[in-house]
Amino acid sequence: MKPAPAIAIVYNAYEPRPTATGERLSEESVAEMAQQAHEAVRSLGLGVTLVPLQRSLLNFLGRVKELAPDALINLCEGFCGRPQWESNVAGIFELLGLTFTGNASKTLAICQDKFKAKAVLRAAGLPTAPAQVMLTGDEPLELRFPLIVKPNNEDASLGIYPESVVRDEEALRRQVRRCLDNYKQPVLVEGFIDGREFNVSVMENGTVTPLPVSEIDFSAMPKDMPRILGYEAKWFEDNPLYQKTPPVCPAPIDDEMRVRLQGLAAAAFRTMGCRDYARVDFRMDAKGRPFILEVNPNPDISTNAGYARALKAAGIEYAAFWGTMVRNAMERRVVHDPADAGAR
Ligand SMILES: Nc1ncnc2c1ncn2[C@@H]1O[C@H](COP(=O)(O)OP(=O)(O)O)[C@@H](O)[C@H]1O
Ligand SMILES: [Mg+2]
């Protein structure tokens, strides 16, 4: 019998780096998720070690080299608090010939740029809301109100607040400038789809399998607030906006809508070149037309987050999920020429 593979779980250890508006990036929750994955993988009888990525990339790589794992579980969401470097971290594993779970650097990089990711989805015939990028805030507006303004290269609802939804030119210009000042990156202005919100988690287990659809229940939101899952609503359990936006999985939808959303999610997964797992976010307009907001190739996979909720609704154990991911990664393992490997 072959020995069980040895796994290293790599993740960002918390590194406080608040944004200009005082938001903290999501590294705290990553450490918790790493613990949960560790427990899950250990319960499968595999050897598993946690390896935090902190400030020193070289120390981190030294530790990985010393452990010489058969595969990595890659939970890194960035480097030094910058989600924009998430793909570079995966790229280093690729250059080193290390096999890892989760998405490849190319997919992570494309999905990190919301506007470019939308262009790829649109080119594949998949529905996304009309949008334009603003670099100065003075560009002529090509879209019709209502609109939503968001940083183009962030995630985790950073920069998304009730005032991000704008209904006239003055509010738009103010919000675009604020977003440019705070995030120092292009701003995405997108048609605001005022309707239901769904998430479809997708898992690769031999085939591309969309999991049960989840919906954000906005029914308790105050009528004067835009129905969005902004920064406070997504992260702070004691914030009223968090409590008023509970997820419901499986979503109360008919089979036709479920099949449509799951089909679009699987198509988006393939179009973005995803592997292993991803979560696709949707909004649906008043006419019942779904629009893909984004593909998250590195979603939160902690036990209390949406992906694990969808696994549970599908009857898939959390530990079994990680077992499948490790198997996927092991199948992708490339055995390099030893001379080549020595140079790394
Ligand atoms: N075009 C849109 N129409 C309606 N709501 C939106 C739109 N874009 C974003 N939102 C709201 O903002 C949230 C976060 O936006 P999203 O594009 O998914 O960025 P993030 O990467 O921060 O999750 C969504 O879950 C949704 O509630
Ligand atoms: Mg999102």
Tokens of 229: 């899952």
Residue nearest to atom 17 of ligand 1 (CA): 293
Q: Which atom of ligand 1 is nearest to the CA of 229?
A: 27
Whether 311 contacts 201, CB under 8 Å: yes
pLDDT value at position 274?
A: 98
Neighbours of ion ligand 2 (CB under 5 A): 281
User: Is the beta carbon of 166 within 6 A of some atom in ligand 1?
Assistant: no
Ligand 1: nearest atom to the Cα of 160? 12
- Residue 49 CA, ligand 2 centroid: distance in Å: 30
Q: Using alpha carbons only, give the angle 304, 265, 33 rounded to the nearest 5 degrees.
A: 25
Nearest to 261 by CA among 289, 227, 298: 289
Spatial CA neighbour of 202 closest among 132, 272, 285? 272
Query: Quick one: pLDDT at residue 15?
Result: 58
First to last CA, the chain: 30
Over the chain (344 residues), the average pLDDT of each successive run of 10 is: 84 72 65 95 97 95 97 95 93 97 98 97 98 97 98 89 96 97 96 98 97 96 91 83 92 98 98 98 97 97 96 98 98 70 54
* Cα–Cα distance measured from residue 314 to residue 305, given in angstroms and rounded to the nearest whole number: 15
Q: Closest ligand 1 atom to the C-alpha of 114? A: 17
Reported pTM: 0.94
CA distance 262 to 251: 12
CATH number of 6-102+325-342: 3.40.50
pLDDT at 217: 96
Cβ atoms of 6 and 64 within 8 Å: the answer is no
The pLDDT of residue 233 is: 81
pLDDT in the model for residue 237: 82
Q: Is the CB of 197 under 6 A from ligand 1?
A: yes
Q: Is the shortest distance between the CB of 192 and ligand 1 below 6 Å?
A: yes
Nearest ligand (C-alpha, residue 233): 1
Residues 6+ apart with CB under 8 A from 53: 10, 11, 12, 13, 60, 76, 79, 89
Tell me if 283 CB under 6 Å of ligand 1: yes
Q: How far is the CA of 58 from the centre of ligand 1 (A)?
A: 36
Ligand 1 binding pocket includes 229 (Cβ within 6 Å): yes
293 lines ligand 1 (CB under 6 A): yes
Q: To test the ligand 1 pocket, which listed residue (111, 160, 193, 291) has its Cβ within 8 A of the most ligand atoms?
A: 160
Domain 129-191 in this protein, CATH class: alpha beta
- CA 90 vs CA 58, 75, 155, 160, 171: distances in Å: 15, 10, 17, 27, 39
**Domain parsing of the chain, residue ranges:** 6-102+325-342, 129-191, 194-316
**pLDDT number for residue 52:** 96
Which CATH number among 3.20.20.70, 3.30.70.890, 3.40.50.20, 3.30.470.20 corresponds to the domain 194-316?
A: 3.30.470.20
Given the CA of residue 159, which atom of ligand 1 is nearest to it?
22
